[in-house]
Every structure is written in structure tokens, then in C-alpha cells.
Amino acid sequence: MRERQPAVNVSFDGVEYEGLLGESVLECARRNGVAIPSLCFLEGLTVWGGCRICVVEVAEGHRLRPACATQVAADMEIKIETPRLRAYRKSVLELLFAEGNHVCAVCVSNGNCELQDMAVHCGMDHVRYDYQSPAREVDASHPKYVFDPNRCILCTRCVRVCDEIEGAHVWDIRHRGQQAELITEMNKPWGESLSCTWCGKCVAVCPTGSLAYQGSAIGEMEHDPVMIKRLAVARNRGEWLDPKGVS
């Protein structure tokens, strides 16, 4: 049994819930069945706080906070569905779509994509920014998997799962800002990597069509991010094969 953390009152959009000290606003919301959109967050991995899809307003001064990287506090008043936040989420999504080459119609993850689902959920129906249309080469050197940087949103789920769960740390990000991109080892083709164990965890957690199995046809690639949650639950709580631990 895990130790029970002290409980406090919090509210989401004016409705009161019980928060536990030490948990994040996002965890608290999910535990209480309140929806907050998220992308880079994945239960079982450390918090990255990079995508900013999960921004919420915290009452004092309507400050914007990433829900995944903000701790719950006593009497916290949290807003999720305000016009301002809806607009921000849309902007973040539009920037992501404008930044890479997200041509859903020919993507292996069409129909099974967290980015696509998020766009639908947030009502993002057009992009107001100029498409950057960067020239990015697909890396198909790995015998089992393909990395298509055109679909990468730099959520670092793959970096974290490979480092924290598999222990191989094959992936990382090079450069910064607009030039930032995912690399394996010393920027070598993935297939030449000495550290990759072919475990497929990075492929399982990718929210987009960026990491996929070799030979996947359009719309065929289904990811399994919940696998990591199952692993985390098993390891941290010693609960294997427990369907209750898994949403």
C-alpha cells in the first residue's frame, strides 16, 4: 500500500475536488475524472513540460501553468475550459502542425494519432501560421523500425522511455530552437546504433507517426503508450497484470 498523502481542497472550473499534496494538477484532474489535454506527458515517465498543451489558469492573477509540471496546493482554483485557454491550446497545436510536415492523408498513424486526436478535441480546424515545410530525411536504417522526423513534435517521450525504462539512452535532441531535432547516438543512422536493444519502447510511446514499424501501411501503425504505464505500475507498486492499475 502506498502511503496516503495529505488531502487538500482544489477546484476545477469551479467544482470542488480532493487533491493530494505532492501530485501534479494533471494527475489530480485525471484521478478525479476531469479531462485536461496533454501530449508530452506520459504516466510512468518523468515530467518534461515541453508541449504546453496542458496549460491551465491558476486563480491568483490567472497565471498560466503547465498542469503536468505544477504541484497541487491547498485551495487551488484551477481553470481549464476558458476561452483564453482554448485559444492557447489551438495556437500550440497550429504551431506544431506548421513546424513539421504533418500530411495526415499519407501518414502511417492516420486515425491512430494523438496529435490528430488533440486537434479534433481542441477544435483546431485550420493553421494560421506559415507552414515551414522543412526538408527532413526519413531514417529507415533500423531493421525493425522507421523514424520519420517529418512527424516528430519533439515531445521527448522516446528519449525518456529509452533512458528511464529501457536504460539505453539511444535518443537525444541536438541543436535548439527551430533547428532542434531528434538524433540517435552521435547523429548516426539508427540502424548503426550500438546501444539500441530493439525493444520497441520508443515506438510504443510515440504520439504521432514519427516512430513506426517497418512496412506499416498508411493508417496501419498503432502505438501502445499504456504499455509504459503498465510497466511503471508493475515496477513501482509491485502490481503485475492488474487491470485496475491501467486506464
Shortest Å distance, C-beta 227 to ligand SF4 = 11
List the interface residues with ligand SF4, window 205-244 (CB under 6 A): 205-208, 210-211
Residue 116 touches ligand SF4, criterion: CB under 6 A: no
Interior/surface letters 68-77, b for 16+ CB within 10 angstroms, e for the rest? bbbebeeebe
Helix 114-121 / helix 83-99 crossing angle, nearest 10 deg: 140
Q: How many residues does the structure list for the chain?
A: 247
List the interface residues with ligand SF4, window 3-22 (CB under 6 A): none
Shortest Å distance, C-beta 179 to other proteins = 9
Residue 197 touches ligand SF4, criterion: CB under 6 A: yes
Partner whose footprint covers residue 185, from other proteins, ligand SF4, ligand FES, none (CB < 5 to 8 Å by kind): other proteins
Residue 170 touches ligand SF4, criterion: CB under 6 A: yes
Partner whose footprint covers residue 116, from ligand SF4, ligand FES, other proteins, none (CB < 5 to 8 Å by kind): none
Name the residues that contact ligand SF4, by CB under 6 A.
152-158, 161-162, 166, 168, 170-171, 182, 196-202, 205-208, 210-211
